[in-house]
Amino acid sequence: MTGPAWFDNHCHLDLARAGRDGQPSDGPSDGPADVLARARAAGVVGMVTVGCDLDDSRSAIATAATHDDVWATAGVHPHEARHGVDGLEELLAAPEVVAVGEAGLDFHYDHSPRDVQRTAFAAQVDLANRHDLPLVIHTREAWDETFALLDAEGVPARTVFHCFTGGPDEARAGLERGALLSFSGIVTFRSADDVRAAAAICPLDRALVETDSPYLAPVPHRGKANEPAHVALVGASLAEAMGVSVDEVAAATTANAHAFYGLAS
């Protein structure tokens, strides 16, 4: 491996065959093994594959169990909150599981009723607190409600806003609560001035990078299936927004990921 080492702290490896938005991939990917090989060749030294419901979490755990550089989360996405969180706690005992989530609120799509989303989110905040695990948050068009629920339930000691899409005000509110901000391919989009402005005020020791693959491919791959090998493009745009070198962002975000998830570096 040449060049900096990267850690993709949020991806969905078991969706690799589906490609972007559930459609067949128009890239070279034909499964998780190929995605992993390309990631390693691109300098990616670690990946967290994320669960969005119980079955998805079990798949993430199984994938992580077969790769030394992959870890899993177990959680119920707000889209799936209508199915409840019963059975989630037992998955947290798997040694591959390093976080609860992704959990949160999504008032853009409202695939689950908002009161049900709040109940599922609160339950997962409680699980993270009781098990001393990191919490991975998805929030969309629900910033005020997300912060209010966290304040009421108690912000877990290790919390990250994944795929951060807010501006400086939301960044400050998250940082004030001790959270980390995870930046995705959105930071490369021409229209994402607010996200770059948020990155500019985010301390380097509070930042993470992710692909959220197979979604949100960074420029110049926008519109195609995303994969962890592209995380360096996210890091390069983050470095530009922060006014620091790419090497600094790679070193810091990789160290931050190891510390956040409690992994040996």
Which residue, 249, 265, 242, 264, is CA-closest to 209? 249
pLDDT at 196: 98
Q: Kindly report the CA angle at 110 between 14 and 107, in degrees rounded to 5?
A: 100
Are 19 and 53 contacting, i.e. CB atoms less than 8 angstroms apart?
no
Burial 253-263 (b: 16+ CB within 10 A, else e): bbebbbebbee
For residue 70, give the 3-state DSSP assignment.
strand
Say what the pLDDT of residue 17 is: 56
Q: Quick one: pLDDT at residue 16?
A: 78
- Identify the burial level of 179 via C-beta atoms within 10 angstroms of its C-beta, where 0-12 means exposed, 13-18 middle and 19 or more buried: buried
Q: What is the mean pLDDT of each run of 10 residues along the chain (265 residues)?
A: 90 74 47 93 98 98 98 98 98 98 97 98 98 98 98 98 98 98 98 98 98 98 97 98 98 98 91
CATH of domain 6-261: 3.20.20.140
What is the predicted pLDDT for the residue at 24? 40
Q: What is the pLDDT of residue 30?
A: 64
Q: How far from 158 is each of 100, 164, 179, CA to CA, in Å?
A: 10, 16, 7
> Would you state the pLDDT for residue 1?
56
pLDDT for res 20: 43
Q: Which amino acid is at 118?
A: R
| Cis bond before residue 220 (omega within 30° of 0) | yes
Residue 143 neighbours by CB distance under 10 Å: 19
Query: Do 126 and 92 contact (CB within 8 A), yes or no?
Result: no
pTM for the structure as a whole: 0.94
